[in-house]
């Protein structure tokens, strides 16, 4: 887990605001005893989490597709090829939603605006290290070249 105490406080505040604004249907399903706190959530989302990412077409249709998600410092990050359809959508309409759903007992859904991350900048350095920790053991050292070839979003 890479989250600082401040990251966990910020994440817990977000979770609290989200549940406070939840409608009756969601509140009946996500009862307080079934919810994870920020620290539990961060521990559960270590490594790569497969996300289903929704982007929006020019005519307003949602398009879903899988992406690798990395949860770091209380936020999800994802990447793809620069010429991918989803990144063309995001460049014009950065509104996205994503869900991690490994099974019926656990789901995480996020909504927001995709923001590009410079992996060579100070903010992206921690993410770059984390990505290398996750993917080099799986795919070998050449994966670092792949990493340098495509955009990453938060």
What tens digit of pLDDT does each residue of 24-58 get?
999 999 999 999 999 999 999 999 999 999 999 99
**pLDDT value of residue 134:** 92
For CA atoms 60, 98, 149, 73, the dihedral sign is: positive
- Give yes or no for residue 79 having a pLDDT over 90: no
- Give yes or no for residue 18 having a pLDDT over 70: yes
**pLDDT value of residue 34:** 92
Please state, for a pLDDT cut of 90, what percent of the chain lies above it. Answer: 69
Highest mean pLDDT among 66-70, 78-82, 136-140, 145-149: 66-70
Per-residue CA distances from 140 to 46, 115, 124, 127 (Å): 20, 28, 21, 18
Q: Which residues lie across from 50 on neighbouring strands?
A: 68
**C-beta of residue 119 within 8 angstroms of C-beta of residue 126:** no
* Mean pLDDT across 7-36: 95
This prediction's pTM: 0.89
**pLDDT value of residue 122:** 78
| pLDDT tier for residue 80 given thresholds of 50, 70 and 90 | confident
Tell me the two tokens of residue 27. 């509140």
Rounded to whole angstroms, the Cα distance separating 147 from 32 reads 39
* Mean confidence (pLDDT) of the chain: 91
Backbone angles phi, psi at 39, to 5 degrees: -65, -40
**C-beta of residue 52 within 8 angstroms of C-beta of residue 101:** yes
DSSP H stretches of helix in 71-121: 85-92
Rounded to whole angstroms, the Cα distance separating 63 from 53 reads 8
């Amino acid at each position: 887990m890479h989250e600082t105490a401040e990251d966990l406080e910020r994440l817990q505040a977000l979770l609290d605001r989200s549940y406070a604004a939840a409608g009756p249907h969601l509140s009946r399903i996500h009862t307080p005893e079934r919810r994870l706190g920020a620290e539990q959530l961060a521990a559960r989302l270590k490594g790569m989490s497969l996300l289903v990412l929704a982007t929006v077409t020019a005519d307003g249709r949602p398009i879903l597709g899988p992406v690798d998600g990395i949860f770091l410092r209380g936020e999800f990050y994802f990447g793809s090829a620069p010429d991918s359809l989803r990144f063309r959508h995001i460049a014009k309409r950065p509104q996205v939603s994503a869900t991690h759903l490994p099974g019926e007992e656990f789901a995480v859904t996020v909504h927001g605006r995709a923001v590009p991350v410079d992996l060579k900048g100070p903010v992206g350095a921690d993410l770059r290290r984390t990505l290398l920790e996750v993917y080099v053991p799986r795919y070998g050292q050449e994966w670092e070249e792949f990493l340098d070839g495509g955009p990453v979003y938060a």
